[in-house]
Structure 1
Amino acid sequence: MNATAFAINLAATAGAALAVLLVAFAVGLRTGRHRGVDVAWGLAFTAVAWTGYALSAGHGDPGRRLLVTVLVTVWGLRLSAHIRSRARGLGEDPRYDRMLAKAPPGRRDTYALRVVHLLQAGIVWFVSLPVQAAQYLTVPLGPLVSAALLLWAVGMFFETVGDWQLARFKADPANRGKVMDQGLWAWTRHPNYFGDACVWWALFLLAAGDPVGWAFVLSPVLMTYLLAFGSGKPLLERGLGSSKPGWDAYVARTSGFLPRPPRR
């Protein structure tokens, strides 16, 4: 790996992530809703991947560079499109309402910039470090690519199918107020979050074919932690116990993250 070129790349990709999240912040100021940051999440990862792809030309293995960039792009654009479709016509996300309620009086927007948009820009940059490293590795694709592609496919399956099943469930008026406990949601309460984690471990594997790639193992660790224990699952589930009949029974029989058959 060319250390100087990679260092320049790190600065450029940080700028790319920051630019996307600042645009999301500007949109949030105009609309009064900061939930658009979730749409920008996948777009920011995509911007980082393509910035790295452009800058790594002539430095990394062409096959690895293209593969990792395409995988991030497919994941990021699908996620952003899904979230945009789901949020159309809705008000502020309750998670951000709770978060921004802690803002000092009269400083809601600057607080949102700091704790929502800038923080997420930093997380995007850090989590995508294995992608950036993979683009600069000179070794050709090896045996780990098969495992990476399989794990990425599993992750995309859980994300895409889980989101589709939930959208169909919510579209039926007869299900209003009910707990979604069908399909993949019978095996895990968060198939989309589990799929997310699989995707990022798969992308890490594309960098792990070289010892240098292992320096970035904390990136998928952080993503998995956020999904399972941080701003993902815990924030989403907060309050559901009192708002939906049958929620406690669903929690008792269904895994919180890793898929498994439901308990009797």
Structure 2
Amino acid sequence: MTFGWNVLWSAVAVVALVTALFGYAASRKRFDLIDSFWGPGFAVIAALTYVLSEHSARALVVAVLTVVWGVRLGWHIHSRNRRKPEDQRYVDMYARAKGNPLAKMYRVYLLQAAIMLVVSLPVQFAAHTTAAFGVLDYLGVAVWLVGFAFESIGDYQLERFKADPASKGQVMDRGLWRYTRHPNYFGDACVWWGLFLFACSTPWASVLVVSPLLMTFLLAKGSGKPLLEKDIAQRRPGYAEYVRRTSGFFPLPPKAR
């Protein structure tokens, strides 16, 4: 099985899964379910890629790291969202849709599938490379570990903060959140830069840099950080001051108050 065939089968699998999920979401009239599928979607691609590969050490490591990341993220988002109303972004998208709102929402699902496919290209490519496990692979593991730690610890710290009644209306500026306003997004980006390094055993890897770049852009400039911070300053007193002293993405020492 070649890399090209791997991409084709991954596309078929992801489109089929998001289509089935869309049907379920439409029946429930809750379209933010795609967010819970984001991480597991990558896990499906990684597992399928390993099955289609030659089962090398690199293919196994990349598959395990991607599945661990994807399943944790999916469970975290599902656990968080099932106790809340539908994400307002999807409510607004459905309300703004003209003509056939369901068709518009299905295109949103297909866009998510396309992004998954592009971002996962290094995972698919790395599983089909034949070079021996080397320095770049070990570096990839290290970067992945940093990212996974930032993302999972950041999510845990925020959940603990929100669960404390005394924190209501306050700004989370403790732990990792003292050094970056989005440790989970920074960690997510690191995870994908780490996975990209596994594909760097050949010169063709320079083309695949578009994948971690796309993920980092989405988190820092696209649908991640900007949308999350859009109106939070109006809802939480003190957030403007938090923004002034705290890095927006890359962890840095906080500025003096």
Hey, what does 1:220 align to over in structure 2? 212
Within 5 Å, which residues of 2 pair with 1:148-227? 148-227=140-219
> What corresponds to 1:109 in structure 2?
102
Distance in 2, Cα, partners of 1:252 & 1:27 = 42
1:240 partnered with 2:232: yes
Asked whether the 8 Å contact 1:33–1:91 carries over to 2, the reply is no
- Residue 102 of structure 1: CA displacement? 2.3
The one-letter code matched in structure 1 to 2:138 is: S
Q: How does 1:1-20 map to 2 (within 5 A)?
A: 5-20=2-17
Conserved 8 A contact 1:154-1:198: yes
Deviations 1:123-181 (A, max 9, x none): 00000000000011011111112211111010011000000000000001111111111
Q: Which residue of 95, 107, 116 corresponds with 1:124?
A: 116
Helix, strand or coil at the partner of 1:178: coil
Q: Give the share of equivalent positions with the same residue, in percent.
A: 49
SS of the equivalent of 1:255 reads coil
Gaps of 5+ in 1: none
Q: Where do 1:32-51 residues align within 5 Å? A: 32-51=29-48
Question: Residue 20 of structure 1 contacts residue 43 of structure 1 at CA under 8 Å; is this kept in 2?
Answer: no
Q: Distance in 2 between matches of 1:135 and 1:95?
A: 36
Q: Per-residue deviation at 1:97? A: 2.3
Contact 1:156 1:196 in 2 (8 A): yes
Question: Which residue of 60, 63, 66 corresponds with 1:66?
Answer: 60
Measured in 1, the distance between the counterparts of 2:90 and 2:188 equals 21
> Match of 1:230?
222
Equivalent pair of 1:20/1:40 in contact (CA under 8 Å): no
C-alpha contact (below 8 Å) 1:49/1:73 kept by paired residues = yes
Unaligned stretches of 5+ residues in structure 2: none
Return the TM-score normalized by structure 2: 0.96
Change (3 A) 1:177 1:119: same
2:21 to 10, 24, 30: 24
What letter corresponds to residue 200 of structure 2 in structure 1?
Answer: A
Q: 1:260 Cα deviation (Å)?
A: 0.6
After superposition, the CA RMSD in angstroms is: 1.3
Deviation at 1:48, TM superposition (A): 0.8
> 192-201 or 241-250: which moved more?
241-250
SS of residue paired to 1:179 = coil
Q: Does residue 70 of structure 2 align to residue 76 of structure 1?
A: yes
